[in-house]
Amino acid sequence: MKRHLSLFTTIILSLVSIVMQAQLPEQLIKIVVSPDHENWQYNTGEKVNFSVHVFYHLNYLKGAKTWYEVGPEKMEPVKKDSLILDGKPFKIDAGTLKTPGFLRCIVTVEFEDKKYRGLATAGFDIDQIRPTVNLPEDFMEFWDAAKKELARIPVNARMTLMPERCTENINVYHVSLQNIGNSRIYGIVSIPRKEGKYPAILEVPGAGVRAYSPDISLAERGVITFVIGIHGIPVNLDPGVYLDLGNGALREYWTFNMDNRDRYYYKRVYLGCVRANDFLASLPQYDGANLAVMGGSQGGALSIITASLDPRIKYLGSFYPALCDVTGYLSGRAGGWPHFFDRNNRNFHNTKEKLETIAYYDVANFARNIKVPGFYSWGFNDETCPPTSMYAAYNLISAEKNLNLFLETGHWTYPEQNNKLQNWILGMLTKN
């Protein structure tokens, strides 16, 4: 009974996590902030006005104290003011930007002792945003040597059937693979039971420490799916284990050994994604030709990185990638998650050793080497992965790229957004 309750708890927590990531909940006071250009885009030097509508029970709110601030995203505001709502919309003259980037307007309303928040972000010459991160001269040599190190290590795959997760059409296995440094990488693979050869999708995770569930829905559509974790621990443990690790031994794992390029935490992670592809390529059910990678946030970064490192990847899908141009803050603009160099972290991380290391792991430097078609999607209101940082990497990609903007979204997606990515990847994998 204890085992079944643990499994049930894991499933429930996974579903809650998915719902929380999918879409923000409604709030009682609805604050709609919008720029005066339909596409939210401007030329540098062009003025932007934001319209603000505040609703209570779908009627304009009156009498509530309201504050607003405007400034480059993630930077100190250049304009701040307050007013009392009079039951009508109001406009904010936000000025402009003189260099490519994003200007954000944040509105806060106080109602019945609670504060509500809304925002919108205007982009200025966003196709001209360039990275600030340094490109090491031996960047590719470093990663070629790392891949050779990995190749000398046997995959040593261990597959354990998960009967409780299998369906009439899909077999599901918990998988353990040998990785560098005597570590292992774990995941859950879903394989169609019907005899035949199938394309495959590697699904890489967002940040955090948690259990994972199989992607049976995509597998039911005729592909092999492999959902992996990055921490070298099984992905089907009791939820309490991950909670303890996330708050303890793995807290802020993205900073571990950041002052040494050979020992930095993400080296094992990036190579682990390549090792996951080694496993997929070894499956007798794999068609040997059609392999894709997809993920969001940290997973969006890993999608780009894996496609850059591994020529077996033919297509990639990336939602709001993290780890892009993280040094932006040192040049007076927003940098990517995990915000190593913002005003809260700069004094600790702004060292010669850490700056040298991070250049080997920044998505912008991997983006230069992308050679396969990609589906990318994000919104301008993302405060976790600022659009300035994402465009700094995206603008370097010379391969075929398909950017789907859902302008008002933050660090979340609409169901329609997810469907677009899945349909695009499936279409690409099965077009031949």
Alpha-carbon distance of 274 to 147, in angstroms, equals: 8
Quick one: pLDDT at residue 127?
A: 98
* From 174, 339, 349, 411, active-site residue: 411
Element (H, E) at 316: strand 315-319
Quick one: pLDDT at residue 9?
A: 36
Catalytic, 37? Answer no
* From 297, 308, 377, 389, active-site residue: 297
The burial of 384, by beta-carbon neighbours within 10 Å (0-12 exposed, 13-18 middle, 19 or more buried), is given as: middle
- Rg of the Cα atoms in the chain: 23
Instruction: Write down the CATH number for the domain with range 29-126.
Output: 2.60.40.1930
Quick one: pLDDT at residue 26?
A: 82
Backbone angles phi, psi at 270, to 5 degrees: -60, -45
Quick one: pLDDT at residue 20?
A: 38
Residue ranges, comma separated, of all CATH 2.60.40.1930 domains in the chain are 29-126
Distances in whole angstroms, Cα of residue 300 to Cα of each of 122, 220, 237, 295, 296:
23, 23, 25, 5, 4
| Angle, helices 265-282/298-309, rounded to nearest 10 degrees | 60
Alpha-carbon distance of 320 to 298, in angstroms, equals: 9
- Per the DSSP assignment, residues forming a β-bridge with 374 are 316, 401
Quick one: pLDDT at residue 160?
A: 98
Total residues found in the chain within this entry: 432
Catalytic, 53? Answer no
CB within 8 Å of 304: residues ≥ 6 apart: 316, 318, 321, 363, 366, 367, 370, 374, 393
Quick one: pLDDT at residue 24?
A: 58
Quick one: pLDDT at residue 6?
A: 39
Which single residue is written with the structure tokens 């909940």? 25
Alpha-carbon distance of 240 to 236, in angstroms, equals: 11
Superfamily covering domain 139-429: Alpha/Beta hydrolase fold, catalytic domain (3.40.50.1820)
Catalytic, 382? Answer yes
CA within 13 Å, CB half, 126 = 21
Series of mean pLDDT values for 10-residue runs along the chain (432 residues): 37 38 73 98 98 97 98 97 97 98 98 97 98 98 98 98 97 98 97 97 98 97 98 97 97 98 98 98 98 98 98 98 98 98 95 98 98 98 98 98 98 96 96 74
Backbone angles phi, psi at 373, to 5 degrees: -60, 145
Helix (H, G, I), strand (E, B) or coil at 424: helix
Residue ranges, comma separated, of all CATH 3.40.50.1820 domains in the chain are 139-429
DSSP symbols for 198-249: EEEEEEPPPSS-------HHHHTTT-EEEEE-SSSS-SSS-HHHHHHHHHTT
What is residue 325's DSSP assignment? S
What distance lies between CA 220 and its chain's CA centroid?
A: 25
